[in-house]
Amino acid sequence: MFTSVLMIEKPLTPEDVEFVTTLHGEERISFVVLMQPRSDQADVLLRAIDDVAIGELREAVREGDRPEGDEAREPAEMALEYSLRELREAGAEAVGQVVEDHPLDKLKTVVDDSGADEVIVLTAPHYVEEFFHRDWASRARHKVGVPVLKLFAHSE
């Protein structure tokens, strides 16, 4: 069985589920999903710049209104449970957890412990972070020792 560690920041859409579960053709796949809730570490200014860059001006204005830190934990747990259920219904094995502190350290541990074959980072575009190679996928490539695939999540 092929094992993928899937890093997400929002619930998977049906398109996301279909995409990640069919990446390897008919091969059976197992997912370890790491859900990163919005946290105080996230830079509101960078997110707002990303929103402006893709023409989402209304989103840029609302960045400061979104839950972060402890307030983001419950929505993240709900998003994770929903995503795990959808992956299982698509025929994949799936387990997961919400990751709050040091997501890349946790990623390395999960990759090692699970014997993962790859990491899939499924996020919205983060142009500023990507430009400076500070996004999850760029940083993970130097840390995990398995291939890292970056995919853009579908909109809700």
Percent of the chain clearing pLDDT 90 (strictly above):
43
34 compared with 61, residue with greater pLDDT: 34
Q: How confident is the model at residue 132 (pLDDT cuts 50, 70, 90)?
A: very low
Which of 94, 86, 85, 83 has the alpha carbon at shortest distance from 36?
83
9 compared with 87, residue with greater pLDDT: 87
Angstrom CA distances, 9 to 24, 103, 123, stand at 23, 11, 6
Angstrom CA distances, 153 to 7, 115, 120, 139, stand at 11, 25, 11, 18
Neighbours of 37 (CB within 10 A): 23
In whole angstroms, what is the distance from residue 27 CA to residue 39 CA?
35
What Rg do the C-alpha atoms of the chain give, in angstroms?
15
